Amino acid sequence: MSLSNLIIKTRMKKIYILIGVASILFSCNKLDEKPASVIVKEQFFKTQGDAVAGVTAVYGELVSDGTEQPLYGREINFLTDMTTDDLSAGPSAINPNVRALSSVTYTATNDRVQVLWRQLYTGISRANVAIDQIPAMSFDETVRKRLVLEAKFLRALFYFDLVRLWGDVPLVLHDPTSTDLNSLKTNRSPAADVYKQIIADLNDAKNLPASYSGADIGRATGGAAKALLLKVYLTQKDWTNAVAKAKEIINGPYGYGLVANYGDLFNKATKNGKEHIFSAQFDSNGGLGNTSTLMGAAFTGFGVSVPADIPADSSVYKQFSANDTRRAVTFYTSLTNPSTGVVKVYPSFYFGKYVDRTVLLTSNQSGINFPIIRYADVLLMYSEALNEIGGATTDAYSGINQVRNRANTGDLTPGLSQAAFRDSLYAERRREFVQEAQRWFDLARTGKLVEAVSKVATKTNVSAKNYLFPIPQSEISINAGLTQNPGYTN
């Protein structure tokens, strides 16, 4: 063998070694995906921590949304307040869909209607996952059962909003197992069936703890389940069951009562007091991890522009007498700029419950809770149910008078007829719950929607069809099996 041959052979060897090494080093890049910074569903629901986090996410839907204003952070108010005689769209509401809700000219393509529908079903889906997955897990039984019941409470809350706003709705109780489109379609179930599910879930959730301590405060309680059940019965005009539920709450081991100062309900420092039964919990948290934007857009700071949410007309303000302590909490007419100390006086009155005076320049950091159901509501519902059964009895008076006295408006005129008492009670509810996502539900449930809303000059388009919202057009486009509510065209 010649030298050059040898050299070539040696080089050949080197090349083969190079190729060999290269292929060992690189040839087997694995193609399976193992994400390092995101959790995949299959890896989840293994530990108690996972289960707790899964249920926390159901609560999370109340206060956060990746792209839109969160469910109880303003979204629900578009449908339950913007469409009523309480609220209208201000000049800085740049979304025509919001304007359409304000003028009660919304259609099935209204994006706010679709967003609320999505948010409620997102919450239901997360609850479904928790209810399906957690019972099969093995960890502390008390916590495990509690978590499932919390998820059931929240599922009932979401379905209760759905069934009241849209009537018959798809009743989905499990997470999809495939992406095949046909398997993802669900048609509308009769409202009665939805209510049956709500009542079943709430009857289970009744067994939740009566109260929590520390960082568990804010979770759903047995009392919250009963209070929601009370509202379900009231909505169904099941007065007897409503009264029974109200009594259980009032006399139960929950320690509920009215806070002395109405303003404490909308104050970060005094949140979750004895009047709180169930609230969407918001916090500013110094900017750390706060994904909620409670009413952020409702207050736009100290510029010259008018907030996006303004009173529908002066009628809502005129409901309040001068000595009503709720008026100054419900409305503001001036604010102090914390950075300059300059007091800004506004040309009109604006809604003030959720304006957190401690973070005025970063209003999306408001730490004020949104009450979903509070004790004053239970008292007023109790009075209402009693009045519907047997007229304005002493017991009926006791509920509403507690609420009125806290507001410094004195006892209701004694001896009212059933009808007069009913009207007083409705008026009281309006004053008590401005911007608390109650107005539309109350008007719809009492059949007074058209009568009340049409009194506002810009809302005369309201008609009987508005007792239900249209099923979002996008849902019908995907699933032709969904029918539209009467009065709305596809």
Partner 1 sequence: MEIYLHANFLYPSRSYKVFKQAVILLLILIPFASFSQTSSPSVINSKLYGKVVDATNKQPIPGVVVRIKGTTHAVATNSDGEFNFVTGQKFPYTLLVSFIGYDKVELTVNGSPVQIELKPAVNQLTDVVVVGYGTQKKSDITGAISSVPKENLNQVSSSVDNLLRGSAPGVNVTQSSGQPGASASIRIRGGNSITGGNEPLYVIDGFPVYNDNASVATGSGSGAGVNALSTINPSDIESIEILKDASATAIYGSRGANGVILISTKKGRRGTSDVSYGAYYGQQRITKTLPLLDATQWANLRNDILAGTGQPPSFTADQIAALGKGSDWQSAAFRHAPVQNHELSFTGGDERSRFGLSGNYFSQDGIVLNTNFKRYSIRANYERDISSKFKIGLNSTTSYSTTTGAATNTGSASLSSPNLITNIITTSPVVPIKDQNGNYNLVNPYTSVPSNPINDLLSVINKTNINRSLGNFYGEYTLLPGLKAKVSLGADLLSTKQNYFAGPNTANGYAVVGIASVGNATVNTWLNENTLTYDKIIDNKHFINILAGYTTQKSNGEAATAGSKNFVSSATTYNSLQSGSQTSTPTSSAYSWALNSYLARINYSYLHKYNFTVSGRADGSSRFGAGNKWGYFPSAGFSWNAVEEDFIKNIKSISAFKVRLSAGETGNQEIGQYQSLATLSPVNYDFNSVLITGFAANRLSNPNLKWEKTKQYDVGIDLGLLDNRINLTVDAYYKKTNDLLLSIPIPLSTGYSTSLQNIGSVQNKGLELGINTENISGGAFTWKTSLVYALNRNKVLNLGATQTSFFPAVPNGTLGILQPVNIKVGLPLGTFWGYKTAGIFQSAAEITNSPTLDTKANTKPGDRKYVDTNNDGLITAADKTNLGSSQPKFTGSFINNFSYRHVDLLVFFQGSYGNKIYNALRQQLEITNLSTNASASVADRWTPTNPTNDVARATNSPVAQMSDRYIENGSYLRLKKVVLGYTFNGSLLNKIRAKQLRIYVSAQNLATITKYKGYDPEVNSFEQNNTSQGIDFGAYPNYKTFLVGLNVTF
The stretch near partner 1 (CB under 8 A) out of 12-20, 375-383, 428-436, 445-453 is 12-20
Smaller CB separation from partner 1, 151 or 434 = 151
Q: Which stretch binds partner 1 (CB under 8 A): 20-28, 77-85, 406-414, 434-442?
A: 20-28
Contacts of 6-15 spanning 24+ positions with Cβ under 8 A: none
Among 95, 211, 241, 358, binds partner 1 (CB under 8 A): 95
Q: CB of 94: closest distance to partner 1 in angstroms?
A: 6
Only one of the segments 95-103, 241-249, 390-398, 447-455 lies at the binding site for partner 1 (rule: CB under 8 A); that segment is: 95-103
Q: Please report, as residue ranges, which positions from 360 to 379 form the binding site for partner 1 (by CB under 8 A).
A: 361-362, 367
Q: Which stretch binds partner 1 (CB under 8 A): 45-53, 73-81, 136-144, 415-423?
A: 45-53
- Contact in structure between 224 and 249 (CB atoms under 8 Å): no
- What's at 2, amino acid-wise? S
Instruction: Output the smallest distance, CB 159 to partner 1, in A.
Output: 11
CA–CA separation, 303 and 346 (whole Å): 11
- Choosing from 253, 341, 347, 415, the residue that interacts with partner 1 (CB under 8 A) is 347
Strands 188-189 and 169-170: antiparallel
Whole-angstrom distance, CA of residue 104 vs CA of residue 98 = 10
Identified binder of partner 1 from the candidate list 155, 219, 404, 431, rule CB under 8 A = 219
Q: How far apart are CA 62 and CA 56, in angstroms?
A: 10
In angstroms and rounded to an integer, the radius of gyration of the C-alpha atoms of the chain is 27
Residue of 6, 39, 192, 419 that binds partner 1 (CB under 8 A): 39
Nearest CB to partner 1, comparing residues 33 and 141? 33
User: What are the DSSP calls for 258-298, one per residue?
Assistant: --SSGGGGG-GGGTT-TTEEEEE----GGGSS--B-TTGGG
Contact pattern for partner 1 over residues 326 through 345, marking x by CB under 8 A: -----------x-xx-----
411-440: contacts with partner 1 (CB under 8 A): none
User: Of 323, 321, 376, 317, nearest to 351 (Cα)?
Assistant: 317
C-alpha to C-alpha distances, 54 to 45, 150, 291, 476, nearest whole angstrom: 8, 11, 17, 30
30 binds partner 1 (CB under 8 A): yes
Q: Does 190 bind partner 1 (CB under 8 A)?
A: no
CA distance 437 to 119: 15
Q: Which three-class secondary structure state does DSSP give residue 309?
A: strand
Distance of alpha carbon 300 from alpha carbon 318, whole angstroms: 24
Residue 37 interacts with partner 1 (CB under 8 A)?
yes
Binding mask 260-279 for partner 1 (x = CB under 8 A): --------x--xx-------
Q: Is residue 169 within 8 Å of residue 163, measured between CB atoms?
A: yes
Q: Is there binding between residue 460 and partner 1 (CB under 8 A)?
A: yes
The CB-of-477 to partner 1 minimum distance in angstroms stands at: 6
Site for partner 1 contains 206 (CB under 8 A): no
Instruction: Give 122 or 236: the residue with its C-beta nearer to partner 1.
Output: 122
| Binding status of residue 224 toward partner 1 by CB under 8 A | no
Element (H, E) at 414: none
Q: How far is CA 391 from the centre of its chain?
A: 33
Question: Which residue in 227, 211, 210, 215 sits closest to 156, CA to CA?
Answer: 227
Nearer to partner 1, 298 or 434 (CB): 298
Query: Looking at beta carbons only, is 222 or 367 nearer to partner 1?
Result: 367
Stretch that binds partner 1, among 135-143, 176-184, 391-399, 437-445 (CB under 8 A): 176-184
Judge contact between 51 and 147, C-beta under 8 A. Answer: yes
Beta bridge partners of 336: 343
Contact call for residue 450 and partner 1 (CB under 8 A):
no
Instruction: Give, as ranges, the residues between 292 and 331 that touch partner 1 (CB under 8 A).
Output: 292, 300-306
Number of residues binding to partner 1, judged by CB under 8 A:
118
126 binds partner 1 (CB under 8 A): yes
Among positions 2, 5, 29, 138, the unique one binding partner 1 when judged by CB under 8 A: 29
d(CA 152, CA 154): 5
Helix/strand/coil for 112: helix
Residue 237 CB, nearest approach to partner 1 (Å): 27
Does position 6 interact with partner 1 (CB under 8 A)? The reply is no
Instruction: Tell me which residue has tokens 């040898």.
Output: 6
CB of 442 to partner 1, least distance (A): 25
- Collect all residues with Cβ–Cβ distance below 8 Å to 217 and sequence separation of at least 6: 211, 272
Query: Does residue 64 contact residue 280 with C-beta atoms inside 8 Å?
Result: no
Q: Which of 283, 356, 388, 428 binds partner 1 (CB under 8 A)?
A: 283
Q: How far is the CB of 255 from partner 1 (least distance, A)?
A: 16
